[in-house]
A and B are shown apart, each in its own frame.
Chain A
Amino acid sequence: MAQTKSRFDGSQTYVATDDLKLAVNAAITLQRPLLIKGEPGTGKTMLAEEVAAALKMPLLQWHIKSTTKAQQGLYEYDAVSRLRDSQLGDEKVNDIRNYIVKGVLWQAFEANEPTVLLIDEIDKADIEFPNDLLREIDRMEFYVYETRELIKAKHRPLVIITSNNEKELPDAFLRRCFFHYISFPDAGTMQSIVDVHHPNIKQDLLDAALKSFYQIRALPGLKKKPSTSELIDWLKLLLAEDIPAQALYSSDEKVVVPPLHGALLKNEQDVHLFERLVMMNRNHR
């Protein structure tokens, strides 16, 4: 077995705060699933990718939709192909194993090394979904009725679960997890996040951009506040268009609509609100 690191300390491309590192390391040491919540765009899904890369473990991803069933993560019995093969008289039809399609959990259980298993946006699924996975995540085993065999994990995978808070999760499920809430980064953390993504950005442009970003976030009544990923995209646009820092605050101290603000505000009501506030501010001076 390859030597794996057992501690996560952030990575070159991902800034992890101390409490987040502690949460990941506790989940690794105690082999419990880690539930991550937080505002959209705070890097919940990225975390699993970065942990997998930092610990050099393969990453298995399971993206949940509203129609996803717990069973699909274990295995699916492809009855339709079997039916077709039986009509055609195919030899394969005699062995039911040919028609069992392995799900993500099965792949994680039978892997020869520990893996990172990401269950992304678990709240999208039906309310019963997490309950259906309790035993599998707890005991790391499940039973295949069609072939009458018990699948047991060779290595406990590190399970990372993300949620956007659209549904409340059942208590029995929560009890088994560690929980971490990613708060919106403060200005200092944000600066280091930006440094990771745009190492060559000019300091004055960054200062001006961060200032307008936090100003926009502080506006009352926004339907959707801009998040970290939107800030990164916006900075990318600013750099691509080679916009000078002066454009973000004009010389006569007036508030301006920052260029390319469409990258930050994704809703036309928000854009209107913002423009109206800027206009009002101008008239006041």
Chain B
Amino acid sequence: MPVSVREFLTLLEALKSGVIEPSIDDFYQLARMTLVKDEQYFDRFDQVFGAYFNGIEQIIALQPDIPLDWLEKKLQRVLTDEEKAALKKLGGPEALQKRLEVLMKEQKEWHGGGKKWIGAGGSSPFGHSGYHPEGIRIGGESAGNRTAIKVWETREFKDYDSDLALGTRNIKLALRRLRRFAREGSHLELDLDKTIHSTAANAGMLDIQMRPERHNQVKVLLLMDVGGSMDDHIQRIAELFSAAKTEFKHLEHYYFHNCVYENLWQSNRRRRDQVTKTQDIINKYGPEYKLIFVGDATMSPYEILSPNGSVEYNNPEAGAIWVNRLIDHFPHFAWLNPEPESVWQYRQSIDIMQKLMKDRMYPVTLNGLESAMRQLSK
């Protein structure tokens, strides 16, 4: 979690200025607001905060030795709103602590659903699963009334954590790295700032400066592995693809199975009758296209290295030859592999493909995508 000294000082300053009441809820909000600047870290913050303050709570709760069977929940007391309003707060943690000590001396057995003793499901300030405007929870689950000091335990920001899943939003952010505005082409527009500067430098004689219009000129050729061992990754790849589609002006996509050979296809339903020759693709698209392979590269080594190695038909030339032809033609290339990086070393075919790719194989994580995009825009 990236937190700087400056933010910590801000928190201290905020505490000093008395902007919050001395309550743990407010402190939680204030600390989160000053220290965490991205909702994807909220969940981690919640966990750390919870872990730290749980410890303190337990120190309070564990001091008296409460027999566990007192806390067994046998009945749940249902309170009306009037009854809830009538419950009095004891007046701060110290009063609670004192009262707890007194009860510890007096209480001898289980009391559930009541309003005085330590127990479950009632309206006493001590115990769990009950209701009291200000109490100490001892064991068990909160009854969901949220007046206990427990906001962070619900972990409602779990979905925003970037480590858990690579959602479409993250992919979009990474792909934006690739989208560079390049000024190139024939349409010209007036560069006002430059004109003013050069006119001034020219002692007032008008000197008009033009510049090419700005447009997105990133072109991408996407080759994707389908079928077989890729089935497990289809959903993630579909997300990647839907994110990619809106990112680039020119995006061409073709499918292959396991390894590229002399034919590729654009529609999976008609892959038998509508194929495009790989050589045609090399001839059609210029070297300014950025080539991205997406595949798990998990297959038998023969499928890459030897002729007739394909699982589907007899290919006259080895896959490796076609891979080399493609990357010779497109100098900007990368391979995205949805398999976790940790298993790569155990798969021979991934190792072979990684060498063919000149170590430009990246995992489909945010970091992997970023490195791939950096490589592609070199």
Chain A positions near chain B (C-beta within 8 angstroms): 18-19, 22-23, 25-26, 29-30, 32, 35, 37, 79-80, 83, 86, 165, 167-169, 171, 174-181, 183
Which listed residue (B19, B156, B204) contacts A183, Cβ 8 A? B156
Q: A22-B20, A168-B173 are in contact. Are A30 and B14 (CB under 8 A)?
A: yes
- Whether A26 pairs with B19 at a CB distance below 8 angstroms is yes
- Whether A26 pairs with B30 at a CB distance below 8 angstroms is yes
Is B155 an interface position by the 8 A CB rule? no
Residue of B nearest to A183 (CB): B156
Interface residues on chain B, number (Cβ under 8 Å): 29
A81 to chain B, nearest CB (A): 12
Please measure, in the bound complex, the distance between the C-alpha atom of A19 and the C-alpha atom of B157, giving whole angstroms. 15
| Interface pairs (23), CB distance under 8 Å | A18-B29, A19-B29, A22-B29, A22-B30, A23-B33, A26-B19, A26-B30, A29-B17, A30-B10, A32-B10, A79-B192, A168-B38, A168-B173, A169-B37, A171-B37, A174-B37, A175-B4, A175-B6, A175-B7, A175-B37, A176-B6, A179-B33, A179-B36
- Whether A26 pairs with B36 at a CB distance below 8 angstroms is no
Please measure, in the bound complex, the distance between the C-alpha atom of A22 and the C-alpha atom of B2, giving whole angstroms. 23
Encode contact with A along B168-198: 1 for CB under 8 Å, 0 otherwise: 0100010010000000000000001000100
A12 to chain B, nearest CB (A): 24
Q: Which residues of chain B come closer than 8 Å to A169, judged between CB atoms?
A: 37
Is B42 an interface position by the 8 A CB rule? yes
Please measure, in the bound complex, the distance between the C-alpha atom of A169 and the C-alpha atom of B34, giving whole angstroms. 16
- Whether A178 pairs with B34 at a CB distance below 8 angstroms is yes
Residue of B nearest to A30 (CB): B14
- Whether A181 pairs with B169 at a CB distance below 8 angstroms is no
Q: Which residues of chain A come closer than 8 Å to B4, judged between CB atoms?
A: 175
Q: Which residues of chain B come closer than 8 Å to A25, judged between CB atoms?
A: 19
Please measure, in the bound complex, the distance between the C-alpha atom of A25 and the C-alpha atom of B21, giving whole angstroms. 12
Which listed residue (B7, B14, B204) contacts A29, Cβ 8 A? B14
A57 to chain B, nearest CB (A): 18
Please measure, in the bound complex, the distance between the C-alpha atom of A178 and the C-alpha atom of B35, giving whole angstroms. 8
Is B351 an interface position by the 8 A CB rule? no
B131 to chain A, nearest CB (A): 17
- Whether A181 pairs with B42 at a CB distance below 8 angstroms is yes
Task: Please give me the 9 A-B residue pairs with the lowest Cβ-Cβ distance, nearest first.
Answer: A174-B37, A181-B39, A29-B19, A179-B37, A79-B196, A19-B29, A26-B19, A178-B33, A22-B29
Which listed residue (A19, A23, A29, A35) contacts B37, Cβ 8 A? A35
B234 to chain A, nearest CB (A): 15
- Whether A26 pairs with B37 at a CB distance below 8 angstroms is no
- Whether B17 pairs with A177 at a CB distance below 8 angstroms is no
Is B101 an interface position by the 8 A CB rule? no
Given contacts A83-B196, A165-B169, A167-B173, 14 further A-B contacts (CB under 8 A): A19-B29, A22-B19, A22-B20, A23-B29, A23-B33, A26-B20, A29-B19, A30-B10, A30-B13, A30-B14, A168-B38, A175-B6, A178-B34, A179-B36
Which listed residue (A26, A29, A79, A171) contacts B33, Cβ 8 A? A26
Is B26 an interface position by the 8 A CB rule? yes
1-25 of chain B: CB within 8 A of chain A: 2, 4, 6-7, 10, 13-14, 17, 19-20
Q: Which residues of chain A come closer than 8 Å to B36, judged between CB atoms?
A: 179
Q: Which residues of chain B come closer than 8 Å to A35, judged between CB atoms?
A: 37
- Whether A180 pairs with B33 at a CB distance below 8 angstroms is yes
Q: A22-B26, A165-B169, A183-B156 are in contact. Are A30 and B33 (CB under 8 A)?
A: no
287-306 of chain B: CB within 8 A of chain A: none
B68 to chain A, nearest CB (A): 34
Q: A23-B33, A26-B33 are in contact. Are A37 and B6 (CB under 8 A)?
A: no
Q: Which residues of chain A come closer than 8 Å to B17, judged between CB atoms?
A: 29-30
Please measure, in the bound complex, the distance between the C-alpha atom of A86 and the C-alpha atom of B205, giving whole angstroms. 12
Please measure, in the bound complex, the distance between the C-alpha atom of A266 and the C-alpha atom of B36, giving whole angstroms. 33
Please measure, in the bound complex, the distance between the C-alpha atom of A175 and the C-alpha atom of B10, giving whole angstroms. 10
Please measure, in the bound complex, the distance between the C-alpha atom of A185 and the C-alpha atom of B173, giving whole angstroms. 26
42-63 of chain B: CB within 8 A of chain A: 42
A182 to chain B, nearest CB (A): 10
Residue of A nearest to B7 (CB): A175
B308 to chain A, nearest CB (A): 43
Please measure, in the bound complex, the distance between the C-alpha atom of A30 and the C-alpha atom of B199, giving whole angstroms. 47
A277 to chain B, nearest CB (A): 20
Residue of B nearest to A169 (CB): B37
Residue of A nearest to B6 (CB): A175
Please measure, in the bound complex, the distance between the C-alpha atom of A183 and the C-alpha atom of B160, giving whole angstroms. 11
Please measure, in the bound complex, the distance between the C-alpha atom of A158 and the C-alpha atom of B221, giving whole angstroms. 48
